[in-house]
Amino acid sequence: MAEGPKSQSPARRKARKRALDVLYEADLRDLPVRTVLAAYLERMELPRPEHLPYAVSLAEGVNEHLDNIDETIATFAEGWTIDRMPVVDRNLARIAVFELLYVPEIDDPVAITEAVELAKELSTDDSPRFLNGLLGRIADYAPRH
């Protein structure tokens, strides 16, 4: 059976990971996302992977809506400022919040699960639980765009 647009897919996970790479580098080096994304794409070998357009749309979408995304995270991150979050967690949260608020074809549980799974792989032991709680509150209460 073919995967529908609302289901999880390995290609979308790879796209999220690529978007995270770009956002992480931009955040860590304090560079514009577009500059880092352009350099990232320039370094890629051909043929480019099928999931690349979704990765680019995530990075560009987070960049375009960053103020609202960060404001949403700050509102729902109980006891945490966005600056205190580990860079990986902050950018995983940004990707997931972009999907929650701006990508209607991604179901909320999928966006949350994907962020949590990437946090298990790439961040601290506390990160998956933290992101799960934060993103769950955002999914329940933040207005969609």
How far apart are alpha carbons 33 and 64 in whole angstroms? 10
Asked whether the whole model's pTM tops 0.75, one would answer yes
Domain boundaries, the chain: 10-141
pLDDT digits (tens, 9 = 90+) for 93-136: 999 999 999 999 999 999 999 999 999 999 999 999 999 999 99
How far apart are alpha carbons 13 and 121 in whole angstroms? 12
Q: Which fold would CATH assign to domain 10-141?
A: N-utilizing Substance Protein B Homolog; Chain A (1.10.940)
pLDDT digits (tens, 9 = 90+) for 70-80: 999 999 998 88
State the pLDDT confidence band at 10, using cuts at 50, 70 and 90: confident
